Amino acid sequence: MFAGKTTELQRRIALAQAAGERVLVVKPARDTRYGESEIVTHTGVRVPARSVATLDELVGEIANASADFIAIDEIHFFASEAVAPIEALLARGTRVAVAGCDIDHFGDVFAPFDALIPRASEVVRIHGACHRCGAPSTHSERLSAVTDRIIVGGIGDFVATCGACFRPSRR
């Protein structure tokens, strides 16, 4: 968290739009932190987005050639159920970019990254600064005692940490 993943996704959206591509921006329906129909950076930059419960909702729509490029924010919210729809979109020639946390607050790899990274034509890991020591952050440490794997949170719920400073949540 707090590394600029959504900011980078928004940059790629702007590049695709500037190139004349038909762009579809997608976010998980359960992420209502800053708005229900936008992806929003922690600094407040907003881009309109379609909110979906599952990525399966997109496959039929894209079959009708409604997008050349799909940008998906918070991909980890979709978990392993994201893999098949993304593979279907890629098979149709649709470019797909995703952003999300690849490691959870327990220190485990978040699905779907374990399946998507080997299939990716490009992988960009973005690091913020560790909340404790300032080193590049690689983990999101949860500040609350909630043990659910995913909560919709932000400032006050998580801090970015490096591997050395990371304190995993207890199960």
Report domain extents, the chain.
5-126
- Looking at 3.10.20.30, 3.40.50.620, 3.40.50.1780, 3.40.50.300, the CATH number of the domain 5-126 comes to 3.40.50.300
Residue of 36, 38, 61, 74 marked active site? 74
CB 65 within 8 A of CB 39: no
Query: Which residues have CB under 8 Å from 60's CB, separation 6+?
Result: none
Collapsed DSSP state (helix, strand, coil) of residue 21: coil
**Beta-sheet strand order (sheet of 23-28):** 50-52, 23-28, 69-72, 95-98
User: Does residue 65 surpass a pLDDT of 70?
Assistant: no
Q: Helices 56-63 & 83-91, crossing angle to 10 degrees? A: 10
Confidence of residue 144 (pLDDT cuts 50, 70, 90): confident
What is the mean predicted confidence (pLDDT) over 134-162?
A: 82
Confidence of residue 45 (pLDDT cuts 50, 70, 90): very high
Pairing of strands 69-72, 95-98: parallel
- 74 among known catalytic residues: yes
The chain-wide mean pLDDT, for the chain, equals: 90
Residue 158's DSSP bridge partners are: 142, 155
CB 54 within 8 A of CB 25: no
Burial bucket for residue 33 (CB in 10 Å: 0-12, 13-18, 19+): middle
What pTM did the predictor assign?
0.90
d(CA 70, CA 72): 6
